[in-house]
Structure 1
Amino acid sequence: MSLLNAWFNAFLRSRRAGNLFGRRAMPEAGYGRGSTQAAPATLTAGLLALAQGSDADALATLQSHVDGLSPHEAEERLQRFGPNEVDHEKPLPWWRHLWQCYRNPFNLLLTVLAAVSWLTEDAKATVVIGAMVVLSTLIRFVQEGRSNRAAERLKALVGNTARVLRRAAGTEAAEVADQYFGAQLHSRRPARLLDLPIRDLVPGDHIVLSAGDMIPADCRVLAAKDLFVAQAAMTGESLPVEKFVQAGNAEAGLMEQANLLFMGTNVVSGTATALVLATGNTSYFGTLAQRSSASDRAPTAFQAGVNSVSWLLIRFALVMVPFVLLVNGWTKGDWTEAFLFALSVAVGLTPEMLPMIVTSTLAKGAVLLSRRKVIVKRLDAIQNFGAMEVLCTDKTGTLTQDKIALERHTDVFGQDSEDVLTFAYLNSHFQTGLINLLDRAVLEHVELQSSLRLSQDYRKVDEIPFDFERRRMSVVVSEREDHHELICKGAVEEMLAVCSTVRENGQDMPLDEQRLARVRQTTEELNEQGLRVVAVAMKETAASQSVYTQADECELTLVGYVAFLDPPKESAAHALQALAAHGVEVKVFTGDNELVTARVCAQVGLDADTIVTGPQIERMDDAAVARALQEHRVFARLTPLHKERLVRELRAQGKVVGFLGDGINDAPALRAADIGISVDSAVDIAKEAADIILLEKNLMVLEEGVIQGRRTFSNMLKYIRMTASSNFGNVFS
């Protein structure tokens, strides 16, 4: 209890000071052993402490009440903590953007030469050189401005609201608190359920959640019923996670706490009442968002290359011009004429069109990619595309569709079976409870509905709903009014507990020890393929029975399994093959588990025999991480800062690195890469951190980007070689 109070007091002091988990609290850019936490230690420790204590401890720590805050308390906290908003990367003012478009060594050199030409009354040289600088700067400014405005339109959000319980000042019904908290938490004070803007939430508020709701802040669950939450944007895990009221596990990490909900995730099914723990920039989402925008980008490979060429030409001019001035002045004795001649040498050595050529070729590449529905936010990203040597990609939502699909339907020993699919379809079709993602995946087989003639051949008799103790559900149907069939599906172990026979080659055989071992081996093999397995069983009953209970779920016959997977995008395999053909190595960095990752990688043609995990990276120093990156292509169970560390290590090896991702957990790595690539369905923070946004899910655009980048680089190189050689020849002669 003292730890919780100490944390919340620090929370209040730091938030008043305006720097809680702010940029000064962000982890340093350098990484070493044990330094890859996904969020600041203070935040992690505080949320873990609130998760592991009792409900009463959490309420006391946050100085809240079992029936919510009063309007006065909420208003006072809103003034103290500020609105529940995450600071996004703000667009640059036009004048700063214009300066960034102008600022590079070569433009500065040309500006100096134009100024000297003007001082020496060489109007033609002044106009030509000045025009090259102005046109180069304006083309970049206009093209990047258009792209940034298009990206901003993508991020335009509709104002959302949350249902909040606030203590009523009057005599409104006290049953409101009972309904959402349960009698054990109710203090018999009246409460009101209000729809409030999400930005008005404060720590200590109580919110009511249901299926489809976005979770607006970091919260602790106070009451829940069948609550499943999608955390893919935070963890990369494609399947929903079940949340409970029970106190958290001291051995588990922050994201694995079953009673914590995080801003930026959403409710898939069920209902809950939750206590708001942290809002805005102080949330887990907010800290990652701040980290992704707090540090300035390191120069990319293209910027470093252009700067290198510019300084090479500048150094060449700094050597040649004084030499020509001294030789000419000493031999002819006319130092004024020698100075003017030396100035002409400086102008002659300088390829004035270089900034114009660079900008125009990059702008042309951006226009060509825009026709393929690609937003290029930074023109330099075009050339980085071409120079890219390693593409690091997230899995969920980028290589995969982020949508659960039915992958296999097999009998008890792993052979494909249409009967199993039929039974699973009947179960999902006739149930009246909340249809989850797995049911939807089964119901997408529309061909079954016509072939089964559901309205003619089957009639629903009864249903035994799902609950999380049994972890199964059953429907009873009548087939042609002849007999009843009880069809049950659920978790494998819970289903085996109520099965006495298995269907083997059309015959029902006893479930003895030998067959049970084979059944477990089959399900383990499916799990090793990264599949989520649901068992299907049935039994026939007399047509005279009309009411069924949980007691009837016994002596069932196990008929097989339906197995689910988040499938890869149709274009993923072809895109990766095309990139490999162009010499681009692909590595997978994902927060999902290694079994699912291995399966997806196999489907898209990536070698995933050995997978390195986040916990293993935690124990590695930088040298060991470098070796792992050289030897392996797939990395799983990664935190956001693991991904960033791996990207930085690749760049430290001299590689030009691209990163493809769409979640908040990808934002730090997107900024650390030479080129960050995201998709239109990505979270706002990921789109802000990206250099390129794909408006369509077709990953073949990546190949076109590589080709366009290399074409752009080739055009620039041709000009530099041609101009430098001809100019040097003229000066030498």
Structure 2
Amino acid sequence: MLKNYTRQLFAQLSRHLPRRLVQRDPLPDARHLASGPIPESLGQHCLNVAAMDDQEIWRAFDSHPEGLNEGEVAAKILKHGDNQIPAQKPSPWWVHLWTCYRNPFNLLLTVLGIVSYSTEDLFAAGVIALMVGISTLLNFIQEARSTKAADALKAMVSNTATVLRVVNEQGESRWLELPIDQLVPGDIIRLSAGDMIPADLRILQARDLFVAQASLTGESLPVEKVARSRDPLQQNPLECDTLCFMGTNVVSGSAQAIVFATGGRTWFGQLAGRVSEQESEPNAFQKGISRVSMLLIRFMLVMAPVVLLINGYTKGDWWEAALFALSVAVGLTPEMLPMIVTSTLARGAVKLSKQKVIVKHLDAIQNFGAMDILCTDKTGTLTQDKIVLENHTDVSGKVCERVLHAAWLNSHYQTGLKNLLDTAVLEGVELDAARGLAERWQKVDEIPFDFERRRMSVVVKEDDAAHQLICKGALQEILNVSTQVRYNGDIVPLDDTMLRRIRRVTDTLNRQGLRVVAVATKYLPAREGDYQRADESDLILEGYIAFLDPPKETTAPALKALKASGITVKILTGDSELVAAKVCHEVGLDAGEVVIGSQIEAMCDDELAALAKRTTLFARLAPLHKERIVTLLKREGHVVGFMGDGINDAPALARGGYRHLGRRRGGYRPRGGGYHSAGEEPDGAGGGGNRRPPHLRQHAQVHQNDRQLQLRQRFQRAGGQRLPAVSADAAAAPVDSEPAVRCLPSGDPV
């Protein structure tokens, strides 16, 4: 009962009052958005917009095909406001000061200081007040400086959209690059591959437009968007194929669209206001401090009354006995402990700032040091994320220039979003040969890539000869539309025997750590008109192109340093198990038994938790698989870190205690977590002592356990003769605090 009462008292003092004064709604994350309730009025409005024809759209949003003029834009801004999601307001300085002050140790020392002052022990009261003041001000000043630097960093980031606007009194229209906060309903937007959707849009024109909606719906694959709905009776706004929503992004294709909602009136903005604030879970450091505080309180509540009673009965002077009991209570408390803790963490923050890392919350430093499991993806973390064309072979595995040239024509003439594989193919052909291919073959048409077919085709011709369709894509998808194979120069049927031969060759390439893409061709009579997906049939399999994503030179030393620091590394990747296992072998990581996503789906939480503890490599994972693994590891009492860089890593990033966001595809920033950092290529295990786990990705280094993390020893030394050895981070508990660390792109340390 006494334990519960004291906990409730501290909770009331440290949380209840300031939360009432500064309570605010957090920004939503993908999980909340996917599961949150759909406002009926908002959903119906979206469905109405999706059902409109072009004329109704122009009338409804008071717009026209030439774009809006300056006067119309000004009027709409007055009516609708800027295109900004309502964000969290910064806390007043006095609330921040209270937050820095309110920890169990400071509150305990304050109570003892007040009692000492009331008994005219001014020296003890002064010492306690000085220690509490220094601790609070150090924390306040360091976090205020870091917050200011982080705000300056955010101000450097701006997003723009391509907008059609009337630019003069003659009605001339131009496409302009404008900040997205200047968009208004009725604006006409041009979209292309890689663009972020800046507001809620209705598609007017589209060509092979695919949009990734994982941030809203959790769908792992992009969906196609069109100007004329294929399902006019659709009742779910997020599944309307004529609408694009803020927070999503264009994967491939191009389009023109009209803005129908901005800012807080968008789907994203409306749901942001409906997400209720959740109590933040204390991290390992905070739980450790609380445990030590409760231990001290229990000692005092036992010792002080005993001393009072014994002294009072034996000497008969109850006032002197009370003063002596108070002295015992003060003596049990290490007055300098809060200052020592804050000063060591502040020193760590300053040291990290020299590595271009902004520590927004000092607790995050110790939280990082408490990490015992690091989950990471493979591509760009263990590997360089730089695809190299390693091999080009025919079906039998022999080097074949015909396959390379066909793949080059496919990559050269496709107009979609060129990925790293296409870049590697284009760089894999010598300049003279490439120039000759481009002069010899002319493009006729293309069938763009989509995530259902997982292949793309171009149609080329040589002078006035027949057309040749060249198809490139995933092996299984190419086999599905192939009926013949070019084998030793002859065209032979694709039968079971040949299929087994193909599997043997491709499995061998996979075991070498290579990613295999198949190439097939088909000759067609010359004709006018567009080519369709139906033309991708009865193809001739020519061979394969194989790519390597080589490991970083710093990966193997980094993994050794992590192991020496007592941190277990687990690989969570969506790539093939053969490729992932090969990479693990090359960097000296024992993959052991490999678990794939389909196996995880069949397991209950208890089974997966037991498996996750003993498994190093997880392959073919969906985003939610990663999140589930991280969550279960935390449930088992581990402090889990996660390194990821794409939208597919967002759910797991949101669950990890320490989070490291990469810079390759980073548009997502999850709410919460210990560390967020980015920078330049690290030096692996070198520099700064041998206790830190160096980053595997190309980012600034962050120390795991340098001198600023010698918290345990200082706790015990500060407690001296009075306390048992209770570690401040003994409670290795799940972590879900606010974003604590960001990285400066350049410039002087904070």
Instruction: Provide TM-score, normalisation by structure 1.
Output: 0.71
Which structure has more helix as a fraction of its residues? Answer: 1
* CA distance in structure 2 between the aligned counterparts of 1:567 and 1:292, rounded to whole angstroms: 43
Within the candidate set 276, 280, 296, 2:263 is matched to 280
Please state how far the C-alpha of 1:201 moved relative to its aligned partner: 3.4
The residue that corresponds to 2:748 in the other structure is: none
CA contact (8 A) 1:501 1:508 kept: no
The residue that corresponds to 1:5 in the other structure is: none
Q: Cα 1:419–1:70, aligned 2, differ >3 Å: closer, same or farther?
A: closer
Please state how far the C-alpha of 1:428 moved relative to its aligned partner: 6.2
The residue that corresponds to 2:190 in the other structure is: 208
Please state how far the C-alpha of 1:107 moved relative to its aligned partner: 0.9
Q: Cα 1:303–1:497, aligned 2, differ >3 Å: closer, same or farther?
A: closer
CA contact (8 A) 1:162 1:197 kept: yes
Within the candidate set 564, 589, 596, 1:611 is matched to 596
| Structure 2 residue 180 is the aligned partner of structure 1 residue 198 | yes
Deviates more, 1:250-259 or 1:437-446: 250-259
The residue that corresponds to 2:729 in the other structure is: none
| Matches for 1:258-277 after TM superposition, within 5 Å | 260-267=243-250, 270-276=253-259
| Structure 2 residue 430 is the aligned partner of structure 1 residue 449 | yes
The residue that corresponds to 1:701 in the other structure is: 694
User: For 2:660, what is the secondary structure of its paired residue?
Assistant: strand
Within the candidate set 375, 378, 382, 2:358 is matched to 375
The residue that corresponds to 1:345 in the other structure is: 328
| Structure 2 residue 312 is the aligned partner of structure 1 residue 316 | no
CA offsets 1:205-233 (integer angstroms, 9 cap, x no match): 54222345432124343321243556787
* CA distance in structure 2 between the aligned counterparts of 1:634 and 1:133, rounded to whole angstroms: 48
CA offsets 1:594-647 (integer angstroms, 9 cap, x no match): 555874476345567333469949x96x6677567567664866567x866665
CA contact (8 A) 2:162 2:176 kept: yes
Stretches of structure 1 that go unaligned for 5 or more consecutive residues are 1-21, 30-34, 177-191, 729-733
Give the letter for the 2:669 counterpart: A
Please state how far the C-alpha of 1:548 moved relative to its aligned partner: 14
Within the candidate set 663, 674, 695, 1:691 is matched to 674
| Structure 2 residue 543 is the aligned partner of structure 1 residue 560 | yes
Q: Cα 1:242–1:490, aligned 2, differ >3 Å: closer, same or farther?
A: farther
* CA distance in structure 2 between the aligned counterparts of 1:87 and 1:709, rounded to whole angstroms: 41
User: For 1:691, what is the secondary structure of its paired residue?
Assistant: coil
The residue that corresponds to 2:710 in the other structure is: 712
* CA distance in structure 2 between the aligned counterparts of 1:442 and 1:217, rounded to whole angstroms: 34
* CA distance in structure 1 between the aligned counterparts of 2:386 and 2:234, rounded to whole angstroms: 29
User: For 2:280, what is the secondary structure of its paired residue?
Assistant: coil
The residue that corresponds to 1:417 in the other structure is: 399
User: For 1:207, what is the secondary structure of its paired residue?
Assistant: strand
Give the letter for the 2:596 counterpart: I
CA offsets 1:304-347 (integer angstroms, 9 cap, x no match): 11111011112212221222223223222233332332222222
Stretches of structure 2 that go unaligned for 5 or more consecutive residues are 1-23, 450-454, 685-692, 697-701, 727-750
The residue that corresponds to 1:18 in the other structure is: none
Q: Cα 1:518–1:652, aligned 2, differ >3 Å: closer, same or farther?
A: closer
The residue that corresponds to 2:126 in the other structure is: 127
CA contact (8 A) 1:404 1:437 kept: no
Please state how far the C-alpha of 1:561 moved relative to its aligned partner: 2.2
CA offsets 1:55-93 (integer angstroms, 9 cap, x no match): 639967994589469779877765565432123444433
Q: State the percentage of identical aligned residues.
A: 40
Please state how far the C-alpha of 1:723 moved relative to its aligned partner: 4.2
The residue that corresponds to 1:655 in the other structure is: 638
The residue that corresponds to 2:722 in the other structure is: 724
Within the candidate set 343, 363, 377, 1:360 is matched to 343
| Structure 2 residue 519 is the aligned partner of structure 1 residue 535 | yes
CA contact (8 A) 1:680 1:694 kept: no
* CA distance in structure 2 between the aligned counterparts of 1:419 and 1:208, rounded to whole angstroms: 40
* CA distance in structure 1 between the aligned counterparts of 2:636 and 2:566, rounded to whole angstroms: 17
| Structure 2 residue 350 is the aligned partner of structure 1 residue 391 | no
CA contact (8 A) 2:654 2:672 kept: yes
Q: Cα 1:309–1:487, aligned 2, differ >3 Å: closer, same or farther?
A: same
The residue that corresponds to 1:92 in the other structure is: 91
The residue that corresponds to 2:53 in the other structure is: 56
* CA distance in structure 2 between the aligned counterparts of 1:607 and 1:246, rounded to whole angstroms: 51
* CA distance in structure 2 between the aligned counterparts of 1:43 and 1:413, rounded to whole angstroms: 55
CA offsets 1:142-161 (integer angstroms, 9 cap, x no match): 33333333333332245544
Please state how far the C-alpha of 1:139 moved relative to its aligned partner: 2.2
User: For 2:669, what is the secondary structure of its paired residue?
Assistant: helix
CA contact (8 A) 2:100 2:140 kept: yes
* CA distance in structure 2 between the aligned counterparts of 1:260 and 1:535, rounded to whole angstroms: 35
CA offsets 1:374-426 (integer angstroms, 9 cap, x no match): 3332221222222223334466766676x673565442436363626741575
Give the letter for the 2:34 counterpart: A
* CA distance in structure 2 between the aligned counterparts of 1:649 and 1:86, rounded to whole angstroms: 33
| Structure 2 residue 458 is the aligned partner of structure 1 residue 462 | no
Q: Cα 1:530–1:151, aligned 2, differ >3 Å: closer, same or farther?
A: farther
CA contact (8 A) 2:347 2:708 kept: no
| Structure 2 residue 499 is the aligned partner of structure 1 residue 517 | yes
Deviates more, 1:377-386 or 1:520-529: 520-529
The residue that corresponds to 2:100 in the other structure is: 101
Give the letter for the 1:299 counterpart: P
The residue that corresponds to 2:745 in the other structure is: none
User: For 1:271, what is the secondary structure of its paired residue?
Assistant: strand
Please state how far the C-alpha of 1:51 moved relative to its aligned partner: 11
* CA distance in structure 2 between the aligned counterparts of 1:679 and 1:162, rounded to whole angstroms: 24
Give the letter for the 2:694 counterpart: V
User: For 1:309, what is the secondary structure of its paired residue?
Assistant: helix
Within the candidate set 197, 203, 224, 2:206 is matched to 224
* CA distance in structure 2 between the aligned counterparts of 1:55 and 1:675, rounded to whole angstroms: 47
* CA distance in structure 1 between the aligned counterparts of 2:197 and 2:229, rounded to whole angstroms: 20
The residue that corresponds to 2:146 in the other structure is: 147
* CA distance in structure 2 between the aligned counterparts of 1:565 and 1:217, rounded to whole angstroms: 38
* CA distance in structure 2 between the aligned counterparts of 1:648 and 1:512, rounded to whole angstroms: 46
* CA distance in structure 1 between the aligned counterparts of 2:165 and 2:672, rounded to whole angstroms: 37
CA contact (8 A) 1:292 1:667 kept: no
The residue that corresponds to 1:40 in the other structure is: 36
* CA distance in structure 2 between the aligned counterparts of 1:530 and 1:695, rounded to whole angstroms: 28
Give the letter for the 1:695 counterpart: A
User: For 1:214, what is the secondary structure of its paired residue?
Assistant: coil
* CA distance in structure 1 between the aligned counterparts of 2:76 and 2:458, rounded to whole angstroms: 45
Q: Cα 1:596–1:277, aligned 2, differ >3 Å: closer, same or farther?
A: farther
User: For 1:391, what is the secondary structure of its paired residue?
Assistant: strand
* CA distance in structure 1 between the aligned counterparts of 2:58 and 2:598, rounded to whole angstroms: 36
* CA distance in structure 1 between the aligned counterparts of 2:206 and 2:634, rounded to whole angstroms: 46
| Structure 2 residue 486 is the aligned partner of structure 1 residue 490 | no
Q: Cα 1:301–1:563, aligned 2, differ >3 Å: closer, same or farther?
A: same
* CA distance in structure 2 between the aligned counterparts of 1:404 and 1:228, rounded to whole angstroms: 25
**Count of residue pairs the alignment pairs up:** 666
Please state how far the C-alpha of 1:299 moved relative to its aligned partner: 0.6
User: For 1:42, what is the secondary structure of its paired residue?
Assistant: coil
* CA distance in structure 2 between the aligned counterparts of 1:70 and 1:578, rounded to whole angstroms: 59
User: For 2:38, what is the secondary structure of its paired residue?
Assistant: helix
| Structure 2 residue 470 is the aligned partner of structure 1 residue 473 | no
* CA distance in structure 2 between the aligned counterparts of 1:405 and 1:79, rounded to whole angstroms: 49
User: For 2:141, what is the secondary structure of its paired residue?
Assistant: helix
CA contact (8 A) 1:537 1:558 kept: yes
Q: Cα 1:143–1:630, aligned 2, differ >3 Å: closer, same or farther?
A: same
Q: Cα 1:124–1:338, aligned 2, differ >3 Å: closer, same or farther?
A: same
